[in-house]
Amino acid sequence: MTETPSESAICEWCVAYLSRTLDLPEGPVDPHVEFTRLGLDSASSVHFIVELEEWLGLELAPELIFEHPTIADLARHLARRQPRTGPERAG
C-alpha cells in the first residue's frame, strides 16, 4: 500500500470487517455507533487493529480505538495520516 486509501474506503473496509467478525444479528454495523456498543472488547480491538495495520501497511497504536471511538472517527483520522513508503513491521 503506497498511498493511504480515502476516508470512505477505510470506512467501508472497517464496516465489512467488523460486520463479519462481530456476527451481530442486527446486520451490518453502523459506522457512527461507538465500538463498545458494537461489541468490541479489548482483545477483539487488538485483532481489529492488527488486521487494519496489515491492510493499510501502517503501524497503529491500540489507543486509537479510545481516541477515535467510532468507525467514522477512526476512518477520518487515518485518511489524514501520511503514507509510508512500504509496510513496517514491529521488531
Partner 1 sequence: MRHRASEQGDERAYIFLPDRGGERPLLTFAGLYARALAVARHLAGRGEPGDRAALLFSPGLDFIVAFFGCLLAGIVAVPMMIPRRDSRRDASRAILADCAPRFLLTTRELLQANRPDLYDRLADVAAAWVFCDDIPAEAGGGAAPPAEPRRDDIAFLQYTSGSTATPKGVMVSHGNLLDNSEMIRIAFGNTRHSTYVSWVPLYHDMGLIVNVLQSLYVGALCVLMAPVAFLQRPLNWLRAIHEFRAEVAGGPNFAFDHCVRRYRAEEMAGVDLSSWKLAFNGAEPVRAETIARFVATFARHGFAATAPYPAYGMAEATLLISGGRRSEGPRYRRVSRTALQRHRIEPPRREEDAQTLVGCGRQLVGERIAIVDPQSGRRLAPGEIGEIWVAGPHVARGYWRNPEATRATFAGRIAGEEAGSWLRTGDLGFVDAAGELFITGRIKDLIIIRGINHYPHDIEHTVEASHPALRRHGGAAFAVVDESGEERLVIVQEVERQHRQSDLAAIVAAIRAAVIREHDIAPYRIVLIRTGTLPQTTSGKIQRGLARQLWLAGALAVLA
Positions in the binding site for partner 1 (CB under 8 A):
22, 26, 33-34, 36-44, 46, 49-50, 62, 66, 89-91
Question: Whole-angstrom Cα distance, residue 16 to residue 59?
Answer: 21
Q: List Cβ neighbours of 84 (8 Å cut-off, separation of 6 or more).
A: 57, 58
Beta bridge partners of 70: 34
- Residue with smaller CB distance to partner 1, 37 or 81: 37
- Three cell numbers, residue 55: 491492510
Nearer to partner 1, 3 or 43 (CB): 43
Whose Cβ is closer to partner 1: residue 54's or residue 83's? 54
Smallest distance, partner 1 to C-beta of residue 20, A: 14
